[in-house]
Amino acid sequence: MELFKKPSIDWIGNRWIPIGFSIVVMVLSLFSIATKGFNYSIEFTGGTLIQLSFPAGATVHVDGVRKALENDGLKTEIQSVEGARPTFILREQASDDAAATKFANDALASLKKAFPATEATIDRKDVIGPVVGKDLRGRTVWAIVLSLFGILIYVAYRFDNPIWSIAGVVALFHDVIGVAGLFSALQLPMDLLIVTALLTIAGYSISDSIVVFDRMREKLRNERGMDLRLLIDSSINETLSRTVITVLTVQIVSMTILFFGGPVLHNFALAMVVGNLLGTYSSIAVAAPLVYEYRLRFGGKRGMHVSSEPAAPSSIAVKEGRRRR
């Protein structure tokens, strides 16, 4: 299936436009992260988790619970849980037993006033201390760093060239930082669900980059006389339809969740929508052009040479000093 025939876009000739845009995105994102930081959820800062439920058959919905609590000034994160009874999880920043007990009593009083015909009961109350939250935050950072390092090693091994690996990781780092910077600028809650979204975005981004790299490697083997500039442009254009189809399938699901998934999944869906757009863009217009820029300035493995000017398809500017047997 192809959405369109192979285009003839000069990605390498215009490479500094998307690269420049990516630099701006990363600078703004890093600036926001450095100045504003993140609005961490209770998983990372410590807090209270309360699970309460209503009797079976009660017609209580998450929007009604949220409105009842907000009317009494209790702004908290609310999540609905599927089950035989209407069950809800409340998350609050209170990180000691006294504050947690007060919050639980205030929440029960607000719900009793809003739903006088039924009464909520507390099934579970967990208090996460700040030390535990800090430890979890450190483990999360290490999980992201080790994931990026693992991707770096895998791509370098698969393509037998660390430069391709570095270019791919730079592209996905750009995607992750872009989404993280958005959450920092808007001060949206940063919780474990968003961390999951960031790792998912990294996976999609490197997958798209690998598709382009794989086509480049194939052409390097089968069309050794093609100029590297034309080779990269041709590889991106040949895989463009596949890339667009892939991102559209993900975007349709993500946007459905964004608009119809409710407030609990809204931020996760927002991260996926923005991250997939950045990931597709960087895989097409940043990762492979970075490989070309390195070849142009520093040469490359096995004596490859590239021209800085557009070349005819028949020109021989990509040369290999040795052939693998």
Within-domain flag for 293 = yes
Give the N- to C-terminal CA distance of the chain in Å, as an integer: 36
Same domain, 88 and 31: no
**What global pTM score does this model have?**
0.74
CB 298 within 8 A of CB 310: no
CB-CB neighbours of 140 under 10 Å: 18
Nearest-angstrom CA–CA distance, 38 and 295: 38
Cβ atoms 49, 77 nearer than 8 A: no
What is the pLDDT at residue 26?
93
The reply to whether 278 falls in a domain is: yes
Q: At which of 111, 128, 145 does a domain end?
A: 128
Q: What is the pLDDT of residue 273?
A: 94
Same domain, 189 and 257: yes
Whether residues 172 and 275 fall in one domain: yes
Number of domains in the chain: 2
CATH number, domain containing residue 138: 1.20.1640.10
User: What token pair was written down for 167?
Assistant: 């270019």
Token readout for 311 is 């070349």
Exposure class string for 74-98: b at 16+ Cβ within 10 A, else e:
bebbbbbeeeeebbbbbbbebbeee
Residue 32 and residue 151 in one domain: yes
Question: Rounded to a whole number, what is the largest CA-CA distance in the chain?
Answer: 83
Q: How far is Cα 108 from Cα 118, in angstroms, rounded to an integer?
A: 11
316 part of a folded domain: no
Contacts of residue 82, defined as CB under 8 A and 6 or more positions apart, other chains included, come to none
CA atoms within 13 A on the CB side of 152: 14
Q: What distance in Å separates the CA atoms of residue 183 and residue 188, rounded to the nearest whole number?
A: 5
- Report pLDDT for 30: 95
91 lies in which domain range? 47-128
Distance between CA atoms of 63 and 84, rounded to whole angstroms? Answer: 18
In which residue ranges of the chain is pLDDT below 50?
301-325
Residues 229 and 148 reside in one and the same domain: yes
> Same structural domain for residues 194 and 288?
yes
The per-residue pLDDT for 300 is 52
How does pLDDT run across 231-263, given as a tens digit for each residue?
999 999 988 888 888 889 989 999 999 988 877
Q: What is the reported pLDDT for 132?
A: 67
pLDDT at 301: 46
Shared domain check, 232 and 176: yes
Q: Which CATH number do you get for residue 90?
A: 3.30.70.3400
pLDDT at position 130 is: 66
| 171 and 210 together in one domain | yes
Residue 29, pLDDT score = 95
Same domain, 23 and 163: yes
Which of 70, 93, 128 marks a domain boundary? 128
Shared domain for 151 and 59, answered yes or no, is no
123 and 137 inside one domain: no
Tell me, letter by letter, the H, E, C secondary structure of the chain: CCCCCCCCCCCCCCCHHHHHHHHHHHHHHHHHHHHCCCEECHHHHCEEEEEEECCCCCCCCHHHHHHHHHHCCCCCEEEEECCCCCEEEEEECCCCHHHHHHHHHHHHHHHHHHCCCCCCEEEEEEEECHHHHHHHHHHHHHHHHHHHHHHHHHHHHHHCCHHHHHHHHHHHHHHHHHHHHHHHHHCCEECHHHHHHHHHHHHHHHHHHHHHHHHHHHHHHHCCCCCHHHHHHHHHHHHHHHHHHHHHHHHHHHHHHHHHCCHHHHHHHHHHHHHHHHHHHHHHHHHHHHHHHHHHHHCCHHHCCCCCCCCCCCCCCCCCCCCCC
Return the pLDDT at 314.
35
Same domain, 298 and 160: yes
Residue 307: per-residue pLDDT: 46
For residues 59 and 117, is the Cβ–Cβ distance under 8 A? no
Amino acid making up residue 181? G
